[in-house]
Structure 1
């Protein structure tokens, strides 16, 4: 039996989408030289032959994956990397070619695409630039539904509420928050953290909200470290017994600050993070985190775009995906 892309992917430990792009010499794919070399070597070992069958015409459709971060920033934020992988994997099954564009450098994709999936946060001006290129446009992680666009978002409110309920069940009413604020790459839109909004609403409903326990950062590990240090210094013995932190990188920085202050986790302070990237397993203690369906977000966006391309009666949709709590050693589970 002839070797397939799936055979190569399993042996190389990567996705079939990655194998396809490497074998097609896609220079925009962000993988290491060792990974590329390994894929070519495995393909040779398995005597992989490309199919001589005619390609389905839909395979010629090219979609642009426009990411608001730079390539370097993506390497530091596994959340968006996982969404991208979901897009690439579903695109291969739907026979779409994917062109990646970083940091809104979109001039080179004019007239060469059938549709756009925009990942991240975009200002009105940036949205208009994309819309001027094509009306086949889907957003991920940016709620553009009320502007008439398809979008795939996360149910932040329920995820945060579940975390607060968990702490309350453990008789921990003093819950702190470290959250992030972002702005679009053109600086024209400040993006409020929806987790902060959900946290404040839920805590106020329970009459346990304390603004002194809330600290603002920027989603980086360094910011999480700095804000937790501020909390420790400013609150002293009044430091909350639990913190909800808006991202895994911020939470890893907060853990470091607590450990430097000899504050035991979770005995004195419990930590619950958000996104559940692979980072949660590589810190000590491992982070409890709200799991976001990142791969499904990417795949769902591709399906929406496919329907938009093929269905003349397509109606704009806002798809909100649920989250779930994943418990690890940064919280007590008794």
Structure 2
């Protein structure tokens, strides 16, 4: 059985002290060019592999960041993870992914267990940013950024999109294709992104369809809530001919239920989602959506966090990216020629 080579073996073979070899491994303190050359030669000859965990702990840095998300089964998050992991890797960091229900973030036990992971920074992916969550993160005394649903207005180290403007684009598009009664199935009201999308929906409705009765149903961003709430919506408002879903996953659930009910999309009801996940192109009909720049969000947030870890910025950015309308079959063709919007 091959013997594990230790730092003591390297020191002995090179004729130098353990402290000198340690300085070489950690990149700290002065070493002569001759000593560096000798240590490197011995390490290669003995096939010495430093204990990266121990070395990281000794210098107080592990080059690991954590991403905390609520639901890896939601296709939005794997697309976000690809961006974050890619940027982290190019900067020499590894990603520790934590998929956890929101209620666990409110317990001290969660944050204590996270401390034992020896991470350098945090990305909070999509949670209500409560006092308990903020306290837990501050107790860890680590750099952190917020992204997507965890982002409120004008908060430092936050990276989100213009949710309100995206909702207005969705409503305007539904009106342009001829919808006369438009409902909104929202995300949880506790999330800033949900409330901003609801705000944009209401503002657009007030501008273009001021006399329509309110048709708003609160979901939880899951496919199942889209399935359930569209039944309730159509039971209450069978004359509804346009639906803006608070995210794409609920829109996909809604589309499935509409097919089961033999309701034609978009001829009878036009639907549009929010996020721009790839799955919206894999259903029939393809679903129109308000597209978030998911990759750019992950890239900016990760770059900012690592710059904070490496003390290259002061950690005060608040970024709100633009969204864009993706017109697809679930809205196009409802009424050829569409409608003309009132003058703004």
When the two structures are superposed, what TM-score results if normalisation uses the length of structure 1?
A: 0.72
**Superposition deviation, residue 228 in structure 1:** 1.0
- CA distance in structure 1 between the partners assigned to 2:313 and 2:192 by the alignment: 34
Summarize the alignment of residues 122-271 of structure 1 with structure 2, pairs less than 5 Å apart: 122-141=129-148, 142-143=150-151, 146=154, 149-181=156-188, 192-208=194-210, 210-236=212-238, 238=239, 240-271=240-271
Q: 1:284 to 1:181 in 2, by over 3 A?
A: same
- Structure 2: state its 5+ residue gaps: 1-48, 337-344
Of 106, 118, 124, the residue aligned with 2:124 is: 118
Aligned residues: 267
- The CA deviation string for residues 163-200 of structure 1, in whole angstroms up to 9 with x for no partner, is 222222233242111112166xxxxx898542112111
Of 94, 98, 119, the residue aligned with 2:95 is: 98
Secondary structure at the aligned position of 2:72 is classed as helix
Secondary structure at the aligned position of 1:181 is classed as coil
- CA distance in structure 1 between the partners assigned to 2:78 and 2:130 by the alignment: 21
Of 85, 89, 92, the residue aligned with 1:88 is: 85
- The CA deviation string for residues 81-127 of structure 1, in whole angstroms up to 9 with x for no partner, is 22122110110111112222332444334261222111111321112
- CA distance in structure 2 between the partners assigned to 1:195 and 1:92 by the alignment: 33
- The CA deviation string for residues 274-308 of structure 1, in whole angstroms up to 9 with x for no partner, is 11212212222111111111121111111111222
**Superposition deviation, residue 61 in structure 1:** 4.4
What is the root-mean-square deviation in Å for CA atoms of aligned residues?
2.7
Q: 1:260 to 1:155 in 2, by over 3 A?
A: same
Task: Give yes or no for contact 1:156–1:194 (8 Å, CA) kept in 2.
Answer: yes
Task: Give yes or no for contact 2:72–2:99 (8 Å, CA) kept in 1.
Answer: no
Secondary structure at the aligned position of 1:80 is classed as helix
Task: Give yes or no for contact 1:219–1:247 (8 Å, CA) kept in 2.
Answer: yes
- CA distance in structure 2 between the partners assigned to 1:118 and 1:279 by the alignment: 24
- Structure 1: state its 5+ residue gaps: 1-51, 184-188
**Superposition deviation, residue 134 in structure 1:** 2.3
Task: Give yes or no for contact 2:151–2:160 (8 Å, CA) kept in 1.
Answer: yes
Task: Give yes or no for contact 1:222–1:250 (8 Å, CA) kept in 2.
Answer: yes
Instruction: Determine the structure 1 residue equivalent to 2:291.
Output: 291
Instruction: Determine the structure 2 residue equivalent to 1:74.
Output: 72
- CA distance in structure 2 between the partners assigned to 1:259 and 1:157 by the alignment: 29
Deviates more, 1:83-92 or 1:136-145: 136-145
- The CA deviation string for residues 2-31 of structure 1, in whole angstroms up to 9 with x for no partner, is xxxxxxxxxxxxxxxxxxxxxxxxxxxxxx
- The CA deviation string for residues 13-56 of structure 1, in whole angstroms up to 9 with x for no partner, is xxxxxxxxxxxxxxxxxxxxxxxxxxxxxxxxxxxxxxx9xx9x
Q: 1:93 to 1:275 in 2, by over 3 A?
A: same
Secondary structure at the aligned position of 1:139 is classed as strand
Summarize the alignment of residues 30-41 of structure 1 with structure 2, pairs less than 5 Å apart: none
Secondary structure at the aligned position of 2:283 is classed as coil
- The CA deviation string for residues 63-92 of structure 1, in whole angstroms up to 9 with x for no partner, is 4324141xxx312x1112221221101101
- CA distance in structure 2 between the partners assigned to 1:169 and 1:191 by the alignment: 25
- The CA deviation string for residues 193-235 of structure 1, in whole angstroms up to 9 with x for no partner, is 4211211122113343634422222222221111111122222
Instruction: Determine the structure 2 residue equivalent to 1:321.
Output: 321
Secondary structure at the aligned position of 2:237 is classed as helix
